[in-house]
Amino acid sequence: MSTVLVVEDEAHLAVGLRFNLENAGYAVRLVDNGEDALSQVEGADLVLLDVNLPGGQDGFEIAREIRKAHNIVPIIMLSARNQKEDRIRGLDAGADDYLTKPFDLEELLARLRGHLRRQVWHRRDGDDESEASEASATTLEFDGCRIDFRSLEAIDHRGEGFQLSWKEAMMMRLFLENEGEVIPRARFLEEVWGEPGTLETRTVDNFIMRLRRYFEPDPKKPRHILSVRGVGYRFVR
C-alpha cells in the first residue's frame, strides 16, 4: 500500500482528501503545517502539499527542504492560485506537479497514480516498451563522475557522493540516451516534465546549471554538458 502525506491546513479539505484517498486504497498521513510535514515525510510515497500554510514556511519552502534532504518522493503542490509564475516557482522548488484548487478528485487520483507509476518505473529501471531498447544502461560514468540511475546515487566532480533528484537523474539519462546529439529544451520539458508548452524553458536552464555544479569542475567552462546556442544542450563524455 502506498502512503500519501497530505499537508493541508483547511480542515474540511484535509478530511475530504483523507476520506477519498483511503477509499482509493492509500494509507494517509495528515498534517496541517510545514514543520510536521518535514518530520512526517520520511517513508511517504507521495506528498500532496498545500502552498499556503500557517506558520513561517509556505509550500514552496517545504518542497525545497524536502529536496535539500535528498528525498526524491513525488510532490504534487495544491494551490488556490493559478498564476503561471507560481506554477513555475513550485516546479523550480522541486515539486513534480501542480494542481489548482478547486480540483477534480478524479484528476487528482489520476495524477497521483501517474506519479507513483513513474516512480516504480524508474526504480525498476525503465522496462517501458518505448524505451526498452535504450534503457539497459543503469549507470553513467565520465571524468571521475558517476550516476547510478536505480538508486539515484551519484559521485560529483570532487569525488563526493550525493543523491540526485528524480528529475536531475532523468535529464542525465536523456543525455546518456542521446550522447553527442543536440537535445532541444522543449524535448527536456516533454520527456522529463511531461509538459511541453506549459513551462518556460528557463526551468530547463536552471536544472542544467545545477547539473553543471555537480559534474563540471568549472561550471562556467563546461566540458561535458555543453550549450548549443539558441537550441538546447549536448552531452559528451
Binding site for Ca ion (CB under 5 A): 9, 50, 52
| Minimum CB distance to Ca ion smaller for 75 or for 140 | 75
Torsion, Cα 44 209 205 82, to 10 degrees, reads: 40
Distances (CA, A) of 29 to 46, 48, 62, 206, 214: 10, 10, 16, 32, 34
**For the chain, how long is the longest CA-to-CA vector?**
53
Give the bridge partners for 29, in sequence order.
5
Cell for 37? 510535514
| Minimum CB distance to Ca ion smaller for 12 or for 220 | 12
Residue linked to cell 510515497: 45
| Minimum CB distance to Ca ion smaller for 48 or for 204 | 48
Report the residue closest to Ca ion, judged by CB: 52
| Minimum CB distance to Ca ion smaller for 33 or for 163 | 33
Least distance (Å) between residue 77 CB and Ca ion: 11
Least distance (Å) between residue 50 CB and Ca ion: 4
| Minimum CB distance to Ca ion smaller for 34 or for 126 | 34
Give burial (CB, 10 Å; 0-12/13-18/19+) of 124: exposed
| Minimum CB distance to Ca ion smaller for 9 or for 153 | 9
Cell for 210? 545545477
Least distance (Å) between residue 94 CB and Ca ion: 19
Least distance (Å) between residue 14 CB and Ca ion: 9
Least distance (Å) between residue 102 CB and Ca ion: 13
Least distance (Å) between residue 161 CB and Ca ion: 37
Give the dihedral sign, CA 162/3/52/106: positive
